[in-house]
Structure 1
């Protein structure tokens, strides 16, 4: 369930307005759309050009289990469980993405719509891109690991989410024009909901209720599928779904607070994982949220 609560306290330039603001917002939306277009096609030079010299995405590297079947190991890396974890430089993210593709990762993006919040005074913006991330999984045919699987089971996990691109307008001394340009400094996601899609229209794995409950509803199938690959899944990712009808997810609210800080001109926004304590978890602002049902509410 989603919350009726408006998570954004301030209001910024987002539709209409001065022609200069409209052009800025269109430019920023191009940066956002470059993620699915360029990354999926391995256009790494174009992809890198979207970002500042020092830019970061919030990702979590996966661990490969030595006991996994060989074909499973081809799909080990994914950034599906990006978010409340360590920040990673964009150059290292590109490096790891290349390595994942070389191992056989098949991760695609569908951009569903993009809007931009702009603060002309601070020359800051946040691009909000609704997207579906889809990854192909293959459970190999039976062997010593799982003799009950007669034929390979091929399925997708589709995860509806929202990318947030923290952008700024900075000087570009080598661009040949001497004009400032918009670039991306940070990227972080909020997860909405996910599902399993059988590739043949009928065959898909079944996950137990216990396995699904270990992650919030926004990415529970994704989490279960990743655990089958041997991943340690972060159970504290921001989603829009609270523990009860109409309730707001606290990490969702915290994410919007960070967006407001960025738009108002703060230089370094902490999007790292919440710090666990005996009272709950503390966000980057020192606010403590009480532990709930273990799903990061």
Structure 2
């Protein structure tokens, strides 16, 4: 069978997915650092940040005795030009003491990956979906007693993993996507837009973009009124979801809103009152730009 361009892309993407797993679990940090594009992000229960930061923190914790292992299953890959979404079955395994008993936690789910090709395929965002988990004492004769209230404070898909990680002193994110629910629905919206080519990635660096956005700029966007200023380093994507505004991969702003951005970006000629749920508002690749958040009337 002839190797078509699409098949070559699929093989390259699957190779990337497998390399991440083997290099991470084998502590091959130098090669693991090559799988993200610049500014690419990793979101897990215990970490949210750039790929470079993830490698650094993972190395530190590995050297401190932490062991988090992965096993991959099948993949479904949707390619749209130089963009792709890959969903891959996976299991996460972590061993540690829980309430003084050495335990294994196994979590089953999917990696939901945003990928782009810029000379090579690389991660823009790696986001696990946590579907279910369980905890087992390594010694089958040991008795494990958990704090039920603490256990049930986390979503079903990773509550035992969260319990273990809290006991290790981790700060655990409490709203990761599961098999169903608004978090995974929002993730699917983001994936659909990337697959449709409605999320754009610029090769231009925006580090030198002017800081701030004049409030008067909102006047040229019918249906908007000033709501608040976000003044912090921002990730790269702004997506208007069905019930919330996702600023990159951070926390959603839980109100119907639209973000406008300046810098060396062109202001979008849109009427905010006409935005449909799921509309892409802007593609912001910068580290210093302020966003003006405007409520849609």
Normalising by the smaller structure, the TM-score range is 0.5 to 0.7
Q: 1:237 aligns with which of 176, 198, 212?
A: 176
Report the CA distance between 1:204 and its aligned residue. Answer: 5.2
Structure 1 residues 42 and 231 mapped into 2: Cα distance closer, same or farther (>3 Å)? closer
Q: 1:156 aligns with which of 81, 104, 107?
A: 104
The answer to whether the aligner puts 1:262 opposite 2:223 as a matched pair is: no
Match of 2:68 in 1: 107
The answer to whether the aligner puts 1:34 opposite 2:12 as a matched pair is: no
TM-score (structure 1 length as normaliser) = 0.65
Q: 1:91 aligns with which of 52, 58, 62?
A: 52
What do the CA deviations read for 1:215-236 (whole angstroms, capped 9, x no partner)? 1111111222233334443221
Query: Greater CA deviation, 160-169 or 224-233?
Result: 224-233
What do the CA deviations read for 1:255-278 (whole angstroms, capped 9, x no partner)? 01011122223134322222357x
CA distance in 2, matches of 1:237, 1:112: 21
SS of 1:165's equivalent in the other structure is strand
CA distance in 2, matches of 1:42, 1:223: 23
CA distance in 1, matches of 2:108, 2:250: 22
What do the CA deviations read for 1:25-45 (whole angstroms, capped 9, x no partner)? 111111111121001101122
Check conservation: 1:55, 1:185, Cα contact below 8 A: yes
TM-score (structure 2 length as normaliser) = 0.65
Q: Larger relative contact order (C-alpha < 8 A, sep ≥ 6)?
A: 1
SS of 2:174's equivalent in the other structure is coil
Query: Greater CA deviation, 46-55 or 250-259?
Result: 46-55
Superposed CA RMSD in Å reads 2.9
Report the CA distance between 1:128 and its aligned residue. Answer: 1.2
Match of 1:272 in 2: 250
The answer to whether the aligner puts 1:25 opposite 2:10 as a matched pair is: yes
Show structure 1 runs of 5+ residues with no match.
Answer: 1-15, 60-79, 140-148, 171-179, 242-248, 289-297
Report the CA distance between 1:287 and its aligned residue. Answer: 6.7
Structure 1 residues 137 and 93 mapped into 2: Cα distance closer, same or farther (>3 Å)? same
Check conservation: 2:29, 2:59, Cα contact below 8 A: no
Match of 2:167 in 1: 228
CA distance in 2, matches of 1:133, 1:283: 36
Show structure 2 runs of 5+ residues with no match.
Answer: 201-235, 238-247, 260-274, 279-297
What do the CA deviations read for 1:221-254 (whole angstroms, capped 9, x no partner)? 122223333444322111014xxxxxxx111111
Report the CA distance between 1:19 and its aligned residue. Answer: 2.0
Match of 2:286 in 1: none
Q: 1:212 aligns with which of 132, 145, 151?
A: 151
The answer to whether the aligner puts 1:167 opposite 2:106 as a matched pair is: no
Structure 1 residues 283 and 112 mapped into 2: Cα distance closer, same or farther (>3 Å)? farther
Match of 1:66 in 2: none
CA distance in 2, matches of 1:164, 1:113: 12
